């Protein structure tokens, strides 16, 4: 019933805009209600405010869910993740190119089997919701059925999700290459899924080494035909990859220009990693409004390098936060922020909790052009949010109860919390995950 009222009394935290890089959030950026009310109508947020101020306007005899000991934030967003790699997380001891050949490509071959794709789609969504993530931008395998299975599972749960079929027509195992059929398969998936319910299609050339110029040009043509499509790929993650791209594209000025020449760089484009860029490339990305998905736990795991947030800020290049499972080591947004903080420390660029939680919610939503739908607790937006239990473990409880300010509490959560602190995850106005104990 689309007009059902749901009323939740809790501490509410959300960002109206970027809090800036200072130790305290810029005025007007943070919205915090210590004793707040989140009022849902059906799948959307109807009102947000102080409990006492909204009380007189509530429908008579309404039931209010009492979550006063919990903290509610917008659902976490993961801008770059491979659902098909869930089962190869934590595969030991390789850097990118060996890791792809030894673990990733063999695993992705399994997605020719539709039952496997269905099982993994559901397992992945269960894990994402358990971690408090309500929206992600997802790589399937090169099999179109992998994306049908994924979107079908998302549709059943009414989730807002972006996904696409990997395009790969060279330098990969025979069983994973789509030759000249990859673009037609993408077009069929776009026709069937893009804009259906809360689903969107991301055109997904894996990365320059595994697509011919012909395939990348055709991917660019898809984007020109329909500007509402998204684009996801990888860029400048690993030094072996950079050498390979230079060898494969001797006529291109640099790695980014390979994508520019194919028409793949726009405001709906997400490039994972972007570790090894110069300021010229960063400025070109900024001018096009594209974003780099910073995947800190993946970058640490594969030994790829340390993303430079300061250079991003100085050049105006947007970046987002992502897990990059299966190279990432955790699906939890808390863990992504912890790793981002650690990467920042090694660069002398510590990350504030304000930046971190803004990034995971409103910042990621904005960079994906989804901020009119998700990323904030605000009227008319979709009711996708996490209910956080700051007392979830004895350690967390000790540390949180020792904090004097909201900033300290959020920072402790960023460093110590994990999926045990996700009490509930709501999407589309319904509770989709409730912690077991
Ligand atoms: N570059 C190309 N493919 C991949 C992938 O699957 N994972 C990561 N981390 N980098 C890539
Ligand atoms: Zn990736």
The pLDDT tens digits of the residues spanning 336-382 come to 999 999 999 999 999 999 999 999 999 999 999 999 999 999 999 99
Query: What integer pLDDT is reported at residue 62 of this predicted model?
Result: 87
Same domain, 71 and 83: no
Same domain, 56 and 121: no
Ligand 1: does its nearest atom lie under 6 Å from the Cβ of 238? Answer: no
- Ligand 1 atom closest to Cα of 207? 2
Of 314, 332, 367, the one marking the end of a domain is: 367
Segment (H or E) for 311:
helix 309-315
Ligand 1: does its nearest atom lie under 6 Å from the Cβ of 298? Answer: yes
Ligand 1: does its nearest atom lie under 6 Å from the Cβ of 425? Answer: no
Same domain, 284 and 338: yes
Reported ipTM: 0.99
Write the CA distances from 76 to 155, 166, 303, integer angstroms. 19, 24, 25
- Ligand 1 atom closest to Cα of 295? 9
φ, ψ dihedrals at 113, nearest 5°: -85, 120
Ligand 1: does its nearest atom lie under 6 Å from the Cβ of 80? Answer: no
Ligand 1 pocket test: which of 78, 81, 104, 258 has the largest number of ligand atoms within 8 Å of its C-beta? 104
**Spatial CA neighbour of 72 closest among 9, 166, 138, 137:** 9
> Which residue's alpha carbon is nearest to atom 11 within ligand 1?
234
d(CA 413, CA 400): 8
The domain spanning residue 10 has which CATH number? 2.30.40.10
Distance 234 CA to ligand 1 centre (A): 7
Same domain, 62 and 91: no
d(CA 210, CA 225): 23
Q: Residue 209 in contact with residue 245, Cβ under 8 Å?
A: yes
> Which residue's alpha carbon is nearest to atom 5 within ligand 1?
100
Same domain, 163 and 173: yes
Write the CA distances from 58 to 72, 193, 383, integer angstroms. 20, 38, 18
Residue count of the chain, please give it: 437
Ligand 1: does its nearest atom lie under 6 Å from the Cβ of 237? Answer: yes
Segment (H or E) for 211:
none
- Ligand 1 atom closest to Cα of 304? 9
Domain span at residue 13 reads: 5-75+376-434
Q: Residue 387 in contact with residue 67, Cβ under 8 Å?
A: yes
Of 348, 367, 386, the one marking the end of a domain is: 367
Same domain, 321 and 427: no
Same domain, 404 and 339: no
Q: In the sheet that 30-41 helps form, which strands lie side by side, from edge to edge?
A: 44-50, 30-41, 5-15, 64-74, 385-388, 422-427, 430-434
Ligand 1: does its nearest atom lie under 6 Å from the Cβ of 297? Answer: no
Residue 1 predicted with pLDDT over 70: no
Q: Residue 299 in contact with residue 234, Cβ under 8 Å?
A: no
Ligand 1: does its nearest atom lie under 6 Å from the Cβ of 384? Answer: no
Q: Residue 97 in contact with residue 74, Cβ under 8 Å?
A: no
Number of compact structural domains in the chain: 2
d(CA 163, CA 81): 9
Distance 138 CA to ligand 2 centre (A): 9
**Spatial CA neighbour of 108 closest among 190, 175, 61:** 175
Please write the tens of the pLDDT for every residue from 5-23.
Answer: 999 999 999 999 999 999 9
Same domain, 100 and 47: no
Environment class of residue 290 by beta-carbon count within 10 Å: exposed (0-12), middle (13-18) or buried (19+)?
A: buried
Ligand closest to CA 89: 1
Same domain, 145 and 20: no
Tokens of 280: 């010229």
In this structure, what DSSP letter does residue 260 have?
H
**Spatial CA neighbour of 157 closest among 189, 186, 119, 197:** 197
Strand pairing partners for 236? none
DSSP letters for 102-155: IIIHHHHHGGGSHHHHHHHHHHHHHHHHHTTEEEEEEE--SSHHHHHHHHHHHH
Ligand 1: does its nearest atom lie under 6 Å from the Cβ of 130? Answer: no
Please write the tens of the pLDDT for every residue from 252-263.
Answer: 999 999 999 999
- Ligand 1 atom closest to Cα of 209? 2
Tokens of 122: 């559901």
CA 219 from centre of chain: 22
Same domain, 70 and 107: no
Distance 98 CA to ligand 1 centre (A): 11
Same domain, 298 and 270: yes
Please write the tens of the pLDDT for every residue from 81-116.
Answer: 999 999 999 999 899 999 999 999 999 999 999 999
Strand pairing partners for 50? 36
Query: What integer pLDDT is reported at residue 437 of this predicted model?
Result: 73
Ligand 1: does its nearest atom lie under 6 Å from the Cβ of 327? Answer: yes
Question: Residues 63-75: what's their mean pLDDT?
Answer: 97
Q: Residue 319 in contact with residue 291, Cβ under 8 Å?
A: yes
Ligand 1: does its nearest atom lie under 6 Å from the Cβ of 107? Answer: no
**What confidence tier does 2 reach under pLDDT thresholds 50, 70, 90?**
low
Same domain, 84 and 187: yes
Please write the tens of the pLDDT for every residue from 377-416.
Answer: 999 999 999 999 999 999 999 999 999 999 999 999 999 9
Beta strand ranges found along 225-300 (DSSP E): 230-235, 269-273, 291-294
Query: What integer pLDDT is reported at residue 102 of this predicted model?
Result: 96
Write the CA distances from 222 to 183, 196, 197, integer angstroms. 8, 18, 21
For strand 30-41 and strand 161-164, is the pairing parallel, antiparallel, or unpaired? unpaired
Residue with tokens 């790589």, as numbered in its chain: 139
d(CA 260, CA 40): 43
Of 321, 345, 367, the one marking the end of a domain is: 367
The domain spanning residue 341 has which CATH number? 3.20.20.140
């Amino acid at each position: 019933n689309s007009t059902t009222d749901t009323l939740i009394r809790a501490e509410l935290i959300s960002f109206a805009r970027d809090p800036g890089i200072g130790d305290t959030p810029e005025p007007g950026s943070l919205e915090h209600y210590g004793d707040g009310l989140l009022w849902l109508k059906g799948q959307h947020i109807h009102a947000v405010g102080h409990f006492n101020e909204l009380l007189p306007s509530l429908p008579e005899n309404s039931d209010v869910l009492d979550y006063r000991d919990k903290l509610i934030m917008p659902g976490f967003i993961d801008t770059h993740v491979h659902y098909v790699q869930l089962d190869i997380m934590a595969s030991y001891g390789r850097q990118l190119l060996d890791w792809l050949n030894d673990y990733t490509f063999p695993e992705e071959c399994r997605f020719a089997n539709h039952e496997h794709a269905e099982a993994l789609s559901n397992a992945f969504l269960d894990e994402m919701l358990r971690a408090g993530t309500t929206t992600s931008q997802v790589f399937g395998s090169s099999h179109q059925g992998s994306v049908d299975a994924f979107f079908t599972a998302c549709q059943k749960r009414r989730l807002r999700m972006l996904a696409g079929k990997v395009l790969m027509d060279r330098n990969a195992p025979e069983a994973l290459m789509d030759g000249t059929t990859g673009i037609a398969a993408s077009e069929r998936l776009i026709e069937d899924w893009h804009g259906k319910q809360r689903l969107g299609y991301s055109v997904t050339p894996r990365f320059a080494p595994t697509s011919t110029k012909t395939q990348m040009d055709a991917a660019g043509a898809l984007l020109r035909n329909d500007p509402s499509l998204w684009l996801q790929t990888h860029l400048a993650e690993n030094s072996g990859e950079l050498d390979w791209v230079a060898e494969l594209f001797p006529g291109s000025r640099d790695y980014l220009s390979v994508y520019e020449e194919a028409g793949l760089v726009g405001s709906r484009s997400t490039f994972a990693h972007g570790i090894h860029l110069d300021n010229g490339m960063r400025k070109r990305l900024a001018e096009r409004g594209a974003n780099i998905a910073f995947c800190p736990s993946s970058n640490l795991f594969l030994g790829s390098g340390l993303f430079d947030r300061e250079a991003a800020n100085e050049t105006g290049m947007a970046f987002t936060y992502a897990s990059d499972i299966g190279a990432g080591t955790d699906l939890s947004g808390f863990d992504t922020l912890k790793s981002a903080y650690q990467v920042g420390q090694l660069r002398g660029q510590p990350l504030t909790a304000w930046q971190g939680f803004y990034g995971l919610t409103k910042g990621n939503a904005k960079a994906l052009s989804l901020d009119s739908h998700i990323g904030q607790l605000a009227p008319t937006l979709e009711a996708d949010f996490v209910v956080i239990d700051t007392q979830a473990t004895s350690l967390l409880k000790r540390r949180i109860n020792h904090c004097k300010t909201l900033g300290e509490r959020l920072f402790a959560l960023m460093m110590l919390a994990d999926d045990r602190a996700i009490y509930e995850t709501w999407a589309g106005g319904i509770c989709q995950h409730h912690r077991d104990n």
